[in-house]
Amino acid sequence: MIEKDYGERETRELWSRLQLRLGDFFRDVEVVPALLHGDLWTGNVAEINEGPVIFHPASFYGHSEYELAIAGMFQEL
């Protein structure tokens, strides 16, 4: 898309080189699964007498940085 929309060929060439080395970035990373919400948005938040609650049936265990990545997708630049 970058090449098509902006005429930027270098990005595609760099990506093809990076793909070959991606495994190296994660070789010694130890991921300890964390309980994740999975779909955190304002529609999954409520308040009861005891205080705020977050709920969703799509909770799962995964990489602890998953929620940060998803939240980052919806930030306005």
Q: For residue 39, indicate whether it is catalytic.
A: yes
Question: Residue with structure tokens 């799962």?
Answer: 60
Residue 77 CA to residue 64 CA, distance in Å, equals: 24
Choose, from 5, 24, 28, 39, the residue flagged as catalytic: 39
Beta-strand pair 60-62/51-54: unpaired
Residue 53 CA to residue 68 CA, distance in Å, equals: 19
Active site residues: 39
